[in-house]
Structure 1
Amino acid sequence: MLGDIFFDFDRSIITPESQAQLRDNAEWMAQNKSKSLVCEGHCDERGTAEYNMALGERRAESAKESLMSLGVSGDRLSTISYGEEKPFAIGHDEAAWSQNRRVHFVEK
């Protein structure tokens, strides 16, 4: 099953916890060879809209590159950034922000 990965504040570096989830996602891709994924980059509400769009894109690209390093073909992966526009958790504290700093994977 596909799972999201999460990021530290103002970072696009894959954490060890996220690396484990990416391995699971790569295994899922190996078992579902007809599937492709969109890596959606998301941010918390802090920062400007422009900055968060760029940060979301860096996060999505980091996830894509990691999946490719785990054997997933790049032609099965695409990226998009939603910046802060589609929060998962509503709130103005670290509990919400930590859930919004993510890459979400969508089958296409």
Structure 2
Amino acid sequence: MVAPIALIAAGSLALGACKTTPDELPPEPTPTPVATSTSTPGGPVPGSQADFIASVASDTVYFDTDRFNIDSADMATLQSQAQWLMQYANKRITIEGHCDERGTREYNLALGEKRANAAKNYLVSLGIAASRISTVSYGKERPVAMGSDESSWAQNRRAVTVTIQ
């Protein structure tokens, strides 16, 4: 019976000897600067995707239902993209073709490819080397607008230009 009491007393003494608050607290941590590749204090890094988006009329051209033709609004958008691409001759791009949710998967993949290629061909006609442009079709797999109405469908019928290098 003495042993348990002695153990409790020894434990209490040991815990009592522990200091719970230090005499002096450590200094507050200083924030570590984080390097970013898309912006600088003066704006986006020249030649980056952020610079592309900030510099061109739009990174996206839109299409009518079941169409892949480049209209006058698309021409203006692609002309501004071509100007940026001429300024950054080492940059490569991918043009992503997209469709709305209507139609079969196969039909929309084919239509998305036609849309991406239509945008590519127009850029090539403006003097951008075809070797700098790749295309991909996502069909209806990557909508930007969720909904089954004309407004959503119109936003999803598009070709988006993305810088890759």
What TM-score range do you get, normalising by the shorter chain?
A: over 0.9
Give the distance between the partners of 2:87 and 2:145, measured in 1 at CA. Answer: 31
Out of 137, 148, 158, the residue aligned to residue 81 of structure 1 is: 137
Matches within 5 A, 1:83-98: 83-98=139-154
Out of 92, 107, 119, the residue aligned to residue 36 of structure 1 is: 92
Out of 127, 133, 136, the residue aligned to residue 71 of structure 1 is: 127
2:29 counterpart residue number: none
Secondary structure at the counterpart of residue 9 of structure 1: coil
1:5 counterpart residue number: 61
Give the distance between the partners of 1:8 and 1:16, measured in 2 at CA. Answer: 13
Contiguous gaps of at least 5 residues in structure 1: none
2:103 counterpart residue number: 47
Corresponding letter in the other structure for 1:16: S
| Partner deviation per Cα, 1:1-35 (whole Å, 9 max, x = no partner) | 34200000000001110110000000010111111
| Partner deviation per Cα, 1:75-98 (whole Å, 9 max, x = no partner) | 100000000000011111011110
Give the distance between the partners of 1:75 and 1:104, measured in 2 at CA. Answer: 18
Corresponding letter in the other structure for 2:134: S
Secondary structure at the counterpart of residue 69 of structure 2: coil
Q: What's the C-alpha RMSD, in Å, of the aligned pairs?
A: 0.7
Aligned length: 108
- Are 1:18 and 2:74 an aligned pair? yes
Secondary structure at the counterpart of residue 83 of structure 2: helix
Higher RCO (CA < 8 A, seq sep 6+): 1
What's the CA shift for 1:50? 0.4
Secondary structure at the counterpart of residue 67 of structure 1: helix
Task: Provide TM-score, normalisation by structure 2.
Answer: 0.64
What's the CA shift for 1:66? 0.3
Corresponding letter in the other structure for 2:61: I
Contiguous gaps of at least 5 residues in structure 2: 1-54
Question: Percent identity among equivalent residues?
Answer: 49
